[in-house]
Structure 1
Amino acid sequence: MFVALTLVVATVGLIIYILKIYEARAKSYWTDRGFASTPSGVSFWDIFLGKKDAIDSDVEIYQKIGHLQEKVGGVMELGAFSSPILFVRDLDVAKDILIKDFDHFFDRRSFGDFDKLFNDGLFNMKGQDWKDMRTFLSPTFTSGRIRSMFSHFERTADKLKQHVKSFPVTKSGFDIPVSESMRKYTLEVIVTSVFGMSVDVFKENDIMFEMAEKFGHFSYSRKIRLYMIQNFPKLSKLLKISGVDQDVSDFFWGMLSAALKARQEGNIKGNDFVQMLVDAQNGNLKEDQESELSREEKDAILKPKSGGNKNNIKWSNELAIPQAFIFMVAGFDTVANNLAVASYILATHEDIQDKVYEEACRVLGNGEDGKKIAYEEVNRLEYIDMFISEVLRLYPAVSRLDRKCMRDYALSTSDGEKPSKTQVIKAGTFIAIPAEAIQRDEQYYPDPLKFDPERFNQENKTKRNPYAYMPFGIGPRNCIGMRFALVETKVALAHIVRSFKIGPTEIPTSNQESVFRTVFGYRLSSDLKLRFTPRV
C-alpha cells in the first residue's frame, strides 16, 4: 500500500515538474527570438471544458500588442503544448505577408487529417499542389460565369419568397426561422448553379439539407475533435479521430461521385463546375480556360504570385470530389450565416431597412410587375453593397486569417519613431492576422461597434487603409468565391425587402443573445424567428 501510494505521488510530482518546464519554455519562446510576448487568455482547458474557442482572445491579444507599441507579437495559443503563433497588428506587415512577400507565406495552417472530403480540397492544400489547383479553379467564378448562373440565383430567391409565405400567418406577417430559411436558399443556389443538379431543398425533410446541416453543426464533442486533429495530428491519426461524422462523409462522397459519373456517362454537357471537373479528368479541358479571366484577375491571381500550372494536376475522383465539396460547404454555410445576420440587422434597424428598400425599388422596380432582376442591375445596388460590407465588417465569416512561414523571413519593423530592428520569422512559424480585431479598431472605424453602412461610401473608403477590411481575405489566397457570394447575397436581400418588411416578433430581439461568434464566424441563433410582413 505504502509503495503504491509513493509511486502515485512520485508520478504526479513528475508530471507537475514536466508541465512547469514546458510552461517556462513557452513563456520564453518568443522573447528568446526577439519578439514581444503576450499571454493568450485561452488555455487548452478552456477549450476542453467548452468555455471558449481559441479565437475568443484575438481582440484581447491585438490590444495587448498595441499597448506594447509593437507591430507583431508572439503567443502560445493554448499554453505549453500548443504551437507558437505570431500575431500581426500592423497593416503594412499584413500587406507584406498576404501580398508583397506572399511566396514566403503561401500555405495556411493545416487542419490535419480532417476527412477525405476535406483533406485534399483547395482550402487545405499546400505548396505547389495548391498553386496548381488555384490556377485551375480561378476561372470558376468570373463575371461571365456568374452571369451564366444568374438565372439560378433569381429562381431560387423567388422560391425563398414562396417559402416565407408557406408559414402560418401570425398577426400581420409570417414568423420564420430565418437562419434555417437562408441556409436552404444558399444550399439550393450552390447545388443548382455550380453543380447543375435539379433539387428542391425547400421541401420538408430534404436529405441533402439535413446532411448539410449536420456537417455545419459543431457540437462540443466535434470541437474537441477539431482541436485534437489540429494540435495533436499524430495522436489523432492513431486514434482514428475524424472531423466529419461518417454518415455525412459517406453521403456527400456518394452524391458527388454519382454526379461526376452521370455527367461522364451521359450525353448532356453543362457549363458548370461539375463539367470542368469531368473535362479535366477526361483530358478535354480547353486550353484557353484562363482567357475567361480579366486582365486584372490574371495579374492579381495567376501571374505574379501563384506560380501554378494546371497541367501538373493528376486527376482522379479522389481529388475532384474534395474540390466540389469545399465549394459546396463554403457557398452554403458562410453565405447563409451572413444573410441571416443581415436580416437580423434589417429587423433591428428600421431606418437602414427603409434605405435598402428604397434603393431596391428604385433600381429593380417594386417587384409587383413580375420583372426579373438582371445581373447588370445587381451591380448598381450601391447602398445595399455598403450595407453588406458593414455586416461583414462587424460580423465576419472568418475572424482570423492564418498563414505559415515557408522559409526564414526577415521582418523589418522600422516605423520612423523607434530604432529600426530586424526580426527573423523562422520557417514553420504560424502567422495570425486577426481580421475581426482590425475591423473593430477605432483608429480605422470610429465608434466601431455602431452599425453604419456609410463607412463604405466612396469618400470614406478612400480615406481608410484598404487593408483594414478583409472579410474574404486579401491577396492570392483570398476567397475564390467572393464575387459569387456577394451577388448571391444581394439577390436574396433585394427579393426579400421588396416583398416583405422584416421586423422582430413580440419576443425581444437581443443582439448579444441572437448573434454569436463561433470558431467559423458569426451565426444567428437557430431558434430565432423574425416577422416578415408583406408590403402593400
Structure 2
Amino acid sequence: MEILGFEVPLWTILLTVFGIWLYKFLYSGFDVFAKRGIRTVKPIYPFVGNLWGIWKKDIRKWQEENVRRYGKFFGFYDGKTPLLYVSDPEVIKEIFVKKFDCFADHKLFSFGLDQNKYIRKFLFVINGEGWKEARSAVTPAFSSGKIKKMSSIMVECCDRMVESSRSVTKGSGIIELKDFFGKVTLDVIARCAFGTKLDNLDDPNNPFAVNSAKAFRPSLFDSGWSLIPELFPWTQIFGLEALISRDSIEFFVKTVEEVIKSRKADGSIGKRGDFLDVLLEEAEAEKANRAKDPNAKIVLDEEVLISQCVTFFAAGYDTVGTQLAMAGHYLALYPECQEKLHEELKIERGCTKSCEIKGLKFERGDTVVFPMWTIHHTEEYHPDPNTFDPERFAPENKSKLVPYTYFPFGQGPRICIGMRFASEQSKLSLGHLILSFKLSRCSKTSHPPKYEGNRIISMPKDLFVKIEERVEE
C-alpha cells in the first residue's frame, strides 16, 4: 500500500493501528485529573493505575509523602477509578457536612460486590437509602444508656486484665502492647457484642483472636495477587478475596447464629443488655409493628442483624487495640505524662495507700480528662516522635485545634457509630492499667514505632515495653 509516495507493507499499517489502539485502551481514563489541572500520583500503570506495589507500602507514610509532594489536593487511580485526596480542612468540612447529600455514599470497594450476603450488609458497605435505614435501626444500641450498661461489662474485663498482668510482672515484665491490649479488646467485644466470655486468651490459636486478626487481611493481601479481586470483582466467585477474609466472616456469622438460636430457645432476649440483645429487641419491635400495620417496614431482618454483630466484632478489634497500644507506647516513653495520668486516676478513684482498683468507672465524667487527652493524641496515629503533648487536647486548648484536622472516627452523618463505645472501652482499659502498673522502656523498645505494610488500618508492630506493678506510698 502506497502512503505519501512510500510503499508501506499492510502488516506494518495493521501493527501500527493495533499499537495505537492498545495504548489508548491501556491508558484511557487516566487523564481525568490532568484535564482539571490536579496533580496526580506517579507512576501510573495500565489497568492498575497507582495500585501497583501498594501492598508493600506503609499507607500512613505514603499519604504523608504525597501530601508533601503534591499538596492539599492530588489525584490517585484505584485501577481506572479516579480518587481525589483532600487535606484542606475547609474542603473536608464541605464534603463531610455541608455537602453531605452529594457525598453520602462510601466508595464501592470490591467487597461491596461480594456474593456473601452478610458482607454486602455491613454498615460501612451499604449505600443509599439502605444505609440510612440500617443506621437508624442500629443507632439505639449505642445510646448513652446502653453504653453505660455495657460499661460494667468492660470493667469486669479490665479487672481480669489487671489480675492476669500481675503474673507477667513476676517474670521479665516485658510485654508487646498490641498483643497485650488485643486480648482485653477481644474480651470486651466478645462480652459486649454477644455475651460470650472467652477463655484461653493467651492461646495464639484462639479462634476468636485468629479470625479477628485476619478478618480484614486475607491470605492474598500482601502480594500483587490481591489486585485481581479488587480490580475484577467478578473473580470472587472463584474464591479470591479482596480486602475481607470470607472464612473469618463466616466464623463470626456462625457464632452469632448459634447465640441467637440459644437465646430464642431459653427466652433470654432482652435480659442481657449486650449489643446483640438490643438488636434482637429492636427486631422484635419491628415484627410487632408489622403485625399491627402490614405496610410497616422490616429493616432488621436476619441478614442485617447478623451483619452488624459481625461488623462490631471484626472491625472493633484492630482499631481499639491499636489505639491503646500506641497510647501505652508513648506513655512508656514519657514517664512525666504517665505520672500525671496516674495522679488523675488516683483522685478519681479516691485512692489511698491500700486502694482497691476494682470498679474504676470514671463516674465524674469529664473531671478526669487526662486519660482522654492521651488517647486523643495517639488517635492521630502518628504524633511527632519527638514531641508527646496530650495537653494540646485539654479543654482549655480546644480552641487552638483547627477544626477538621483531627477526626479519628470520621465526621458528619457517617461518623463511626461505635465512637462512644470505643472511647469508653479505651478510657477504662488504659485507666485500669496505669492505675495499677507502670510502663517503661526496655531493651526491646524501638522508637519511632515501626509499622506493618499495606493495612486498612495503620498498624504498628513490635511495641515492646516493661510493665511493673505500682507500690503506693
Matched, 1:249 2:252: no
Further displaced range: 12-21 or 465-474 = 12-21
SS of the equivalent of 2:163 reads helix
Cα 1:218–1:46 shift into 2, 3 Å? same
Query: Aligned partners of 2:182, 2:324: CA distance in 1, in Å?
Result: 9
Q: Would you say the 8 A contact 2:95–2:103 is kept in 1?
A: yes
- Give the corresponding residue for 1:493: 430
- Give the corresponding residue for 1:343: 328
- Give the corresponding residue for 1:121: 122
- Give the corresponding residue for 1:139: 140
How far does the alpha carbon of each residue in 1:237-277 deviate from its partner, in whole angstroms, 9 at most, with x for none? 35432344454233212111111111222221332321233
After the TM superposition, which residues 322-341 of structure 1 pair with which residues of structure 2 at under 5 Å, given as runs? 322-341=307-326
Query: Aligned partners of 1:252, 1:460: CA distance in 2, in Å?
Result: 42
Q: Would you say the 8 A contact 2:185–2:317 is kept in 1?
A: yes
- Give the corresponding residue for 1:186: 185
Q: Would you say the 8 A contact 1:347–1:504 is kept in 2?
A: yes
SS of the equivalent of 1:468 reads coil
Matched, 1:30 2:30: no
Identify which of 20, 24, 28 aligns with 1:21. 24
- Give the corresponding residue for 2:8: none
Q: Would you say the 8 A contact 1:98–1:474 is kept in 2?
A: yes
Identify which of 359, 362, 373 aligns with 2:344. 359
> One-letter code of the match for 1:521?
I
Matched, 1:460 2:463: no
Query: Aligned partners of 1:482, 1:184: CA distance in 2, in Å?
Result: 20
SS of the equivalent of 1:59 reads helix
- Give the corresponding residue for 1:58: 63
How far does the alpha carbon of each residue in 1:348-399 deviate from its partner, in whole angstroms, 9 at most, with x for none? 111211111121112223484325213423543211211111111244xxxx
- Give the corresponding residue for 1:519: 455
After the TM superposition, which residues 267-282 of structure 1 pair with which residues of structure 2 at under 5 Å, given as runs? 267-269=267-269, 270=271, 271-282=273-284
> One-letter code of the match for 1:261?
K
Cα 1:325–1:348 shift into 2, 3 Å? same
> One-letter code of the match for 2:34?
T
Q: Would you say the 8 A contact 1:76–1:85 is kept in 2?
A: yes
Further displaced range: 450-459 or 242-251 = 242-251
> One-letter code of the match for 2:160?
K
After the TM superposition, which residues 98-497 of structure 1 pair with which residues of structure 2 at under 5 Å, given as runs? 98-113=96-111, 114=114, 115-167=116-168, 169-170=170-171, 174-200=173-199, 202=201, 204=203, 205-215=205-215, 217=217, 221=221, 224=224, 227-234=227-234, 236-243=235-242, 244-245=244-245, 247-269=247-269, 270=271, 271-283=273-285, 312-366=297-351, 368-370=354-356, 372-377=359-364, 379-395=366-382, 450-497=387-434
Q: Would you say the 8 A contact 2:134–2:299 is kept in 1?
A: no
- The offset of 1:118, in angstroms, is 2.4
Query: Aligned partners of 1:10, 1:260: CA distance in 2, in Å?
Result: 68
Query: Aligned partners of 1:103, 1:339: CA distance in 2, in Å?
Result: 34
Cα 1:217–1:13 shift into 2, 3 Å? farther
Further displaced range: 147-156 or 270-279 = 270-279
- Give the corresponding residue for 2:93: 95
Q: Would you say the 8 A contact 1:502–1:530 is kept in 2?
A: yes
Q: Which structure 2 residue ranges, 5 or more long, are not aligned? A: 1-11, 290-294
> One-letter code of the match for 1:21?
K
Further displaced range: 161-170 or 124-133 = 161-170
Identity among equivalent positions (%) equals: 27
Q: Would you say the 8 A contact 1:42–1:54 is kept in 2?
A: no
Query: Aligned partners of 2:22, 2:389: CA distance in 1, in Å?
Result: 48
User: Normalising by the residue count of structure 1, what TM-score does the alignment of the two structures yield?
Assistant: 0.74
How far does the alpha carbon of each residue in 1:174-224 deviate from its partner, in whole angstroms, 9 at most, with x for none? 222321121111111112123222333535353322332333555554665
Q: Would you say the 8 A contact 1:50–1:220 is kept in 2?
A: no
Cα 1:141–1:165 shift into 2, 3 Å? same
- Give the corresponding residue for 2:467: 532
Query: Aligned partners of 2:202, 2:73: CA distance in 1, in Å?
Result: 50
> One-letter code of the match for 1:58?
Q
How far does the alpha carbon of each residue in 1:7-43 deviate from its partner, in whole angstroms, 9 at most, with x for none? xx999999975564357545532232x3423224686
Q: Would you say the 8 A contact 1:499–1:535 is kept in 2?
A: yes
- Give the corresponding residue for 1:416: none
Cα 1:82–1:196 shift into 2, 3 Å? same
Q: Would you say the 8 A contact 2:123–2:308 is kept in 1?
A: yes
Number of aligned residue pairs = 443
- The offset of 1:502, in angstroms, is 0.5
Cα 1:233–1:162 shift into 2, 3 Å? same
Q: Which structure 1 residue ranges, 5 or more long, are not aligned? A: 1-8, 288-309, 396-439, 441-446
| Structure whose CA Rg is larger | 2
Query: Aligned partners of 2:185, 2:360: CA distance in 1, in Å?
Result: 18
SS of the equivalent of 2:378 reads helix
Cα 1:20–1:350 shift into 2, 3 Å? farther
Cα 1:375–1:460 shift into 2, 3 Å? closer
- The offset of 1:151, in angstroms, is 1.0
How far does the alpha carbon of each residue in 1:24-76 deviate from its partner, in whole angstroms, 9 at most, with x for none? 545532232x342322468658645843266653223333443xxxx644x13
Q: Would you say the 8 A contact 2:122–2:308 is kept in 1?
A: yes
SS of the equivalent of 1:122 reads coil
Cα 1:12–1:196 shift into 2, 3 Å? farther
Q: Would you say the 8 A contact 1:473–1:479 is kept in 2?
A: yes
Query: Aligned partners of 1:474, 1:138: CA distance in 2, in Å?
Result: 16
SS of the equivalent of 2:409 reads coil
Further displaced range: 185-194 or 81-90 = 81-90
